Amino acid sequence: MTKYVINGENKLEGSVDISGSKNSALPIIAACILNGGKTNLYNVPNINDTEGMLEILKNLGCNIKKKGKKICIDSSKINKYDIDSKLMNKMRSSVIIVGAILARFKKASFSYPGGCEIGARPIDLHIKGFRKMGINIDESTGYIVGKCDKIKPTEIQLDFPSVGATENLILVSVFTDGETVIRNVAMEPEIEDLQNFLNKMGAKVSGAGSNVIRIIGVKKLKEISYTIMPDRIETGTFLTYAAMSGGNVEVCKCNTEHIIPILTKLEESGCRIYNEKNRLALIAPKRLKAIDFQTLPYPGFPTDMQSVFLSMLTVAKGTSTVTENIFENRFKCVSELSKMGAKISVLGSSCVIKGVKRLHGTIVKAADLRGGAALIGAGIKARGTTVIENGDFIERGYDNIEFKLKNLNIDIKKIKEHVN
């Protein structure tokens, strides 16, 4: 088990390079199944979730080679289409691989995905879309088996702009003999990165970033190299830590176009931001102002930034309200922040935060990835020592966060405990 130990009250100071996007790398790694050949990926973040996705590909028969920052995936020898349920249960995003397997083999069997306990996270929209495309899905055994003779190009209206369902339905459509139109799709930047990746392989996908995506099926996809886009949530996380600690930070190798809602809210809370295309600087005020925000599908304020922002607002001047509209159980870090002296009351899908002058360090437990990141922010700000248990959650989505924070003047140590 991993623990993070932070001695607080240091300000973030210095410059940090952002890693590749976890939520872009995961669907793109899955999409490497499609060309039945070699794909070189660059800027893949070195985190547990990408390791998990690579494990699933290896289990299916792919050959994976890592050379420094390059990962070479050879999917020519895939010899099975049932996804190992232990690996599937490790993370929610494993479900994205199903679309790629169905597209290539017209059959797939898999279990319900696991993932962070931030909500029920059903996959009904994925299944409904697969069925609309003529794929027979049998859920009677508690295991899900999908198969068909032919995947039918069709028109699909998503009940909700689900990121995963959008990605899965794009992947399953790439080899049909016509045009598939998917409406009310997610517009997150990670969808555009997936579209760019597939089109570089020779697919014909258009509309990513809008609410309608069209996929014209092709016969084959080619071997390519591709560089994953920067992680917008990691960018927002470091900016928020700087804002919360009263510091100033330069963030490089990021894409500022992807984080407008986050920058807007940071400025509203009193931060000064100097913004160029792929780098920016933030100077925090002496004390942040309380602000209100709600999470929405992109281009609204991202749900993945909710916990970290909530943590920042615990020390702002005044009362803030936060509303979580995407997941039904994403306030799990509140109980832990309260142990550190935060004044937060949860009312259904909203919470009210009364800013305090100071937090104090203590022992706290991460319950999910972004909640863990929120506790790191609180530990940086708090007086005294904070020990964050279940740090493995944090390692799912942040590449070398301890090293990056140490370079930003933060007193943080990662302790790996071997639980026998």
Where do contacts with ligand EPZ occur on this chain (CB under 6 A)? 22-23, 26, 92-93, 116, 119-126, 160, 162-165, 186, 303-304, 326-327, 369-370, 397
* Cβ 327 to ligand EPZ shortest distance, Å: 5
* Cβ 38 to ligand EPZ shortest distance, Å: 24
* Cβ 260 to ligand EPZ shortest distance, Å: 16
C-alpha dist (Å) from residue 388 to 105, 168, 292, 361: 44, 35, 27, 10
* Cβ 312 to ligand EPZ shortest distance, Å: 17
Nearer to ligand EPZ, 97 or 408 (CB): 97
Residue 237 exposed, middle or buried by CB count within 10 Å (0-12, 13-18, 19+): buried
Locate all alpha helices (DSSP H) within 124-231, ordered by sequence. 124-132, 163-172, 189-201
DSSP E strand stretches across 217-318: 224-227, 248-252, 272-276, 279-283, 293-294
Take residue 92 and report the two structure tokens written for it: 């929610």
Estimate the crossing angle of helix 369-381 against helix 306-313, to 10 degrees: 20
Nearer to ligand EPZ, 158 or 224 (CB): 158
Nearer to ligand EPZ, 248 or 306 (CB): 306
Nearer to ligand EPZ, 21 or 248 (CB): 21
Give the CB-nearest residue to ligand EPZ. Answer: 164
Residue 334 φ/ψ, nearest 5 degrees? -60, -45
- Concatenated DSSP letters for 347-389? ETTEEEEE--S--B--EEE--SHHHHHHHHHHHHHSBSEEEEE
Annotated catalytic residue 32: no
Nearer to ligand EPZ, 97 or 410 (CB): 97
* Cβ 186 to ligand EPZ shortest distance, Å: 6
Take residue 349 and report the two structure tokens written for it: 């899908």
Question: Number of C-alpha atoms within 13 angstroms, CB side, residue 317?
Answer: 8
Take residue 268 and report the two structure tokens written for it: 């509203």
Active-site residue, from 116, 254, 271, 351: 116
Nearer to ligand EPZ, 126 or 365 (CB): 126
Nearer to ligand EPZ, 10 or 94 (CB): 94
Nearer to ligand EPZ, 18 or 165 (CB): 165
For residues 306 and 325, is the Cβ–Cβ distance under 8 A?
Answer: no
What would you report as the CA-atom Rg of the chain, rounded to the nearest whole angstrom?
Answer: 21
- Structure-derived torsion over alpha carbons of residues 10, 386, 244, 298, reported in degrees to the nearest 10: 140
* Cβ 11 to ligand EPZ shortest distance, Å: 26
Q: What's the angle, vertex CA 123, arms to CA 122 and CA 128, rounded to 5?
A: 130
| The total number of residues written for the chain in this structure | 420
Distance, in Å, from the CA atom of 390 to the CA atom of 401, rounded to the nearest integer, reads: 15
Find the helix or strand (DSSP H, E) in which 265 lies: helix 260-268
Catalytic residue numbers?
Answer: 116
